Structure 1
Amino acid sequence: MSVHGETRKIAFAPAGEMLAALCLAAVSLAGNVAKTAGAIGRAIERRSVMAELAGLDDRMLRDIGVTRADLRDATSGPLLDDPTRVLILRATERRTAARLAARAQQH
């Protein structure tokens, strides 16, 4: 209803707006909780893989291109960081260094 171009609000409108805001906040909170739970789940899974790698002997670790020191370095970071990134980086660095050394010996 309008009088002289002004709109009158219904008495329930503020309550409806508040309810809508609360619903949006609840949905947002649920999304954040799910995202955090997913990140924690991935971190636990990665740490489990690191524990399995730590159970391998040094020869097996060398076969995949990492050392015990690499495992310690990878797991020394924050809990939610991906330790496999450090392992991939170290293995790639060693492989590249070995190829460069072999190439240098050939020439």
Structure 2
Amino acid sequence: MSMSGETRRLVVAPVAEALASLLMMTVAAAYGAKRRADALGHMLERRRAMAALATLDDHMLKDIGITRADVRDAVSAPLGADPTRLLVLRVSERRAARQLARRELGLG
């Protein structure tokens, strides 16, 4: 190989490495921004669901296994928290308590 080819390789290699590093950092930043935007979208969607639940009357809430207090507690969770988790937990707890009571009474 000629001396000029070797010189070109010595000059181009660090530039190519720097460009590759810059590209990787840009891709990582874009991916992080997308994840944050997705999380914000999910949070807003859950908050809209809570607002819709708040408009239901008490009988409708009872039909789906929650109370107005459950909705209020879920909405009062910190902004980044998933309010639907609390509702799922409350419904699960009530369902388990009913099943346990039936077993204790021998109703199966």
TM band (smaller chain): 0.7 to 0.9
CA displacement 1:13-37 (0-9 Å, x = unmatched): 2222111111110001001111111
Question: How far did 1:88 drift?
Answer: 1.0
Q: Which residue of 1 aligns with 2:53?
A: 53
| TM-score (normalised: structure 1) | 0.82
Give the residue type in structure 1 aligned to 2:11. A
> Quick check: which one's helix share is greater?
2
Which 5+ residue runs of structure 2 have no aligned equivalent?
none
Question: In structure 2, how many angstroms separate the alpha carbons of the residues matched to 1:63 and 1:11?
Answer: 72
SS at match of 1:77: coil
Q: Which residue of 2 aligns with 1:25?
A: 25
Question: In structure 2, how many angstroms separate the alpha carbons of the residues matched to 1:99 and 1:11?
Answer: 74
Aligned length: 102
Which 5+ residue runs of structure 1 have no aligned equivalent?
2-6
Question: How far did 1:11 drift?
Answer: 1.7
Q: Which residue of 1 aligns with 2:80?
A: 80
Q: Provide the alpha-carbon RMSD of the alignment.
A: 2.0
Question: In structure 1, how many angstroms separate the alpha carbons of the residues matched to 2:46 and 2:75?
Answer: 10
Residue pairs, 1:62-73, within 5 angstroms: 62-73=62-73
Give the residue type in structure 2 aligned to 1:51. A
Question: In structure 2, how many angstroms separate the alpha carbons of the residues matched to 1:102 and 1:23?
Answer: 62
Greater Cα shift, 25-34 or 12-21: 12-21
